[in-house]
Amino acid sequence: MNHGTKIPAIQVRQLTMAYGDFVIQRELSFDVGRGDIFIIMGASGCGKSTLLKHLVGLNAPAAGEIFFDNVRFTPENSAGYDRILRSFGVLFQSGALWSSMTLAENIMLAMDQYTLFTRQEKMERASFKLGLVGLAGYEGYYPAQISGGMRKRAGLARAMALDPQILFCDEPSAGLDPLSARRIDDLILELRESLGTTFVVVTHELASIFAIGSNSIFLGPVGQTAIAHGDPTTLRDTSRDSRVKEFLFRGEKS
Amino acid sequence: MKDPAKTSSFEIRQEENRAELRISGSWVADSERSAPGEIFALLTKTAAVSELRITATELQESDMSLPTFVFALHRLCQQDNISLRFDELPEAATRLLGMALAVPEQEGVRRESDESSVLSRIGSDAIAVGRGWHATLEFIGGCCLALGRMAVGRAQFRGSDLWTVVQECGARALPIVSLIGFLMGLILAFVSAMQLKMFGAEIYVANLVGIGIVRVLGAVMTGIVMAGRTGASFAAELGTMQVNEEIDALETLGISPIDFLVLPRLVGLTLMMPLLCAYANFVGLLGGLVVGMSVLDLPARLYINQSMEVLDLTQVAIGLCTSIVFGVLIAMAGCLQGMLCGRSSAAVGTATNTAVVHSITCIVVATAIITVICSVLGI
């Protein structure tokens, strides 16, 4: 599904994020290329999840602009806004599954709204998505009946419901056992490979960062701006910034 | 409990601008110890100090209280630009302190307590009230737009959700509405019977109960029951969804939470309220009849005839229309509080509480307004 264009999937220009007067990060500018697995990293509390919330439109920027495919992402541009919303999926940090619906219903809701599949077809698609995240057979379970790690994986399955072009994942492998975490990484790589999906991933699992990341942004402390951009492996090997190096080497001397 | 056998003491030595704090005895949780603030005040009282050293050569025992104490002292010293050395303390305490101080406090992170002046509190409350009204109007506007979308069949909501709401606030509400309605009729009849008996006008109990229940009380009692039952549950449901980011998840799908969550509740309750009210009216009249037959020995036929005579369609229609208004108010108040809910468990409690208080207030105010309008119109 490569569009064959050089236009980045997402462009962020001079984005400043703030809660009231409290500035989280200022003047962030970066591009997420099509088919990239873009990692947002930085110390805890520096605004990684907040950046993700801005990218998916849940928080309004204090200043700056975000473009998807060269179309400005803002509620004022209502036709474009809805189309963009439909082009991506979001995995929330806590899963954020709709607790009054079963896992299958959670995944099928987006299809109910936006597709004309038959019920049978929707059910099959939901089962397949659950199978992809290692939850085959859990269609009829409610979110409260499964564990936190399973909820996160079900959240990923829901985010994939409409086969989005872009997937935003807030800590997809945090709280998972090593094998499940590895499966998620493999799934992300596979989706990019086979469908050309672009990923924006907030994570601080180093193993995962190096295994899947093809580009990244490293956020500085609260109130400041990004310290570094680029392929995480290259950053680790060539960055001169001590904070980036320490982070990527887990504080151990290189 | 403090253990009197365990004592701690300290001694301050000062040479020019250097001070030494010697601590000794037991620095454990259950020993009597001086607060860091007191010691710091003693230290800085006499002369300006720029360097402080803590030593513990005669320390008998210590636990986490010692590094806790030094950490607090460190903060005080930092404010006054005094350098603090604690490397002569027991090794474990020094290491723990090293870890606690490894990540220095970021500037601007600390929040001072909320004890602000009266004026600033009045100001921030006024701003909050303004914001609250803004959010309320925005919500009402959003609901109107959503109703418009529903009218042309373009609202994003599932029929199954509407039916769940209809079942929840329709059929499942019948037992409590029956009980309250029946007792209201009973009480009203009983109280009026006592008075009317004195004039030998017992038969007018039927008039009083009939008009009272059908025109006002049936609707008001149903409204209050539904505010406590359904309005509260709307607020709690939506509030919990807000806490779990479930509403965010809807928004990122491009589904309007007002369409998907508020609309079925608003429509469902508004449809069910007049039905519940009609039912409550019937049960209420039944309650009156029971008193009429048992206490006043009126023949059932006579009582029913008398009721039918005073109850024309206008009375019934006023009651039912009132209940439709209540349905809208309760659903709006409940859903609004749920949607505005904060992100904590306490916020869900507040939202539920506010929803019930607002719905009941709205019910009473609306009743007053409707009564005035009816009397002006002469119906």
- pLDDT for the residue A239: 86
Q: Test A98 with B241 for CB contact under 8 angstroms.
A: yes
Q: How far apart are CA B288 and CA B148, in angstroms?
A: 43
Amino acid code (one letter) for A245? K
A211 part of contact set with chain B, CB < 8 Å: no
CA distance B62 to B33: 12
Contact indicator for B317, B263 with CB cutoff of 8 Å: no
* Helix orientation angle between B345-377 and B313-339, rounded to the nearest 10 degrees: 150
C-alpha–C-alpha distance, residues B33 and B233, integer Å: 51
Q: Residues near B32 by Cβ (< 8 Å), separated by ≥ 6?
A: B2, B4, B6, B7, B8
| Chain B residues bordering chain A (beta-carbon distance below 8 Å) | 106, 108-109, 156, 158, 237, 240-241, 244-246, 248-255
pLDDT of residue B363: 96
Measured torsion, CA atoms of residues A65, A67, A71, A76, in degrees rounded to the nearest 10? -40
pLDDT of residue B116 exceeding 90, the answer is no
User: Is the per-residue pLDDT at A3 higher than 50?
Assistant: no
pLDDT digits (tens, 9 = 90+) for A107-146: 999 998 888 899 999 999 999 999 988 899 999 999 999 9
CA distance A99 to chain B (A): 8
Q: Six-digit token pair at A252? A: 């151990």
Kindly provide the ipTM of the predicted complex, given to two decimals. Answer: 0.84
Tokens of A180: 């499940």
pLDDT category, B157, cuts 50, 70, 90? confident
Q: Which pLDDT belongs to residue B44?
A: 79
pLDDT level of residue B1 (50, 70, 90 thresholds): low
At A113 the pLDDT is 86
For chain B, give the percent of residues with pLDDT over 90. 59
Spell A138-177 as b/e; 16+ CB within 10 A means b. bbebbbeebeebbbbbbbbbbbbbbebbbbbbbbbbbebe
Q: What is the pLDDT of residues A200-239, one digit of tens each?
A: 999 988 889 999 999 999 998 888 889 899 999 998 888 8
* pLDDT at position A49 over 80: yes
How close, in Å, is residue B254 to chain A by CA atoms? 6
Amino acid at B197: K
Cα–Cα nearest to A246, from B50, B360, B106, B102 = B102
Find out whether B225 and B194 touch, Cβ atoms under 8 Å. Answer: no
Cα separation, B29 vs B64, whole angstroms: 8
Q: How confident is the model at residue A254 (pLDDT cuts 50, 70, 90)?
A: low
- DSSP 8-state symbol, B104: P
Q: Are strands B18-27 and B51-62 parallel, antiparallel or unpaired?
A: parallel
Q: Shortest Cα distance from B138 to chain A (angstroms)?
A: 15
pLDDT over 70 (residue A1): no
User: What residue in B sits closest to A161 (Cα-Cα)?
Assistant: B253
Report the residue from A92, A221, A223 with minimal CB separation from B249: A92
pLDDT confidence of residue B112: 66
Convert the pLDDT of each residue in B304-343 to its tens digit. 999 999 999 999 999 999 999 999 999 999 999 999 999 9
Closest of A140, A142, A104, A145 to residue A125, by C-alpha: A104
Q: What is the mean pLDDT of residues B21-35?
A: 85
CA distance B141 to A108: 30
Single pTM value for the model: 0.82
Q: Is A223 on the interface with B (CB under 8 A)?
A: yes
pLDDT on residue A2: 45
Which domains are seen in chain A, by residue range?
10-248 (3.40.50.300)
Number of A–B residue contacts, CB under 8 Å: 51
Q: Which of B187, B192, B176 is nearest to B287 (CA)?
A: B187
| Structural domains for chain B | 8-100 (3.30.750.24), 130-377 (no CATH)
pLDDT of B128 higher than 60:
yes
Q: Is the pLDDT of residue A6 over 90?
A: no
- Taking the C-alpha atoms of residue B324 and residue A38, their distance in angstroms, rounded to an integer, is 53
- For tokens 């029946």, the residue is B182
Q: Do A113 and B255 touch (CB under 8 A)?
A: yes
- Kindly state the tokens that stand for A20: 């009231």
Q: Determine whether the interchain pair B254/A94 forms a contact, defined as Cβ–Cβ distance below 8 Å.
A: no
Among all chains, which residue has been given the structure tokens 């468990």?
B345
- Long-range pairs for A249-253: beta carbons < 8 A, 24 or more residues apart: A250/A206
Instruction: Give tens-digit pLDDT for B169-221.
Output: 999 999 999 999 999 999 999 999 989 989 988 899 999 999 999 999 999 99
Question: Mean pLDDT across chain B, nearest whole number?
Answer: 90
What distance in Å separates the CA atoms of residue B150 and residue A170, rounded to the nearest whole number? 34
Among A241-250, B2-11, B360-369, name the one with the lowest average pLDDT.
B2-11
Residue B249 has pLDDT above 80, yes or no: yes
Number of H helices, E strands in chain A: 9, 10
Question: CA-CA distance, A92 to B22, in Å (whole number)?
Answer: 53
According to DSSP H, which parts of chain B are helical?
Answer: 36-46, 65-79, 91-100, 118-151, 159-169, 174-197, 205-211, 218-226, 232-243, 246-252, 257, 263-294, 300-310, 313-339, 345-377
B245 and A99: CB-CB below 8 Å?
no
Residue B350 pLDDT exceeds 90: yes
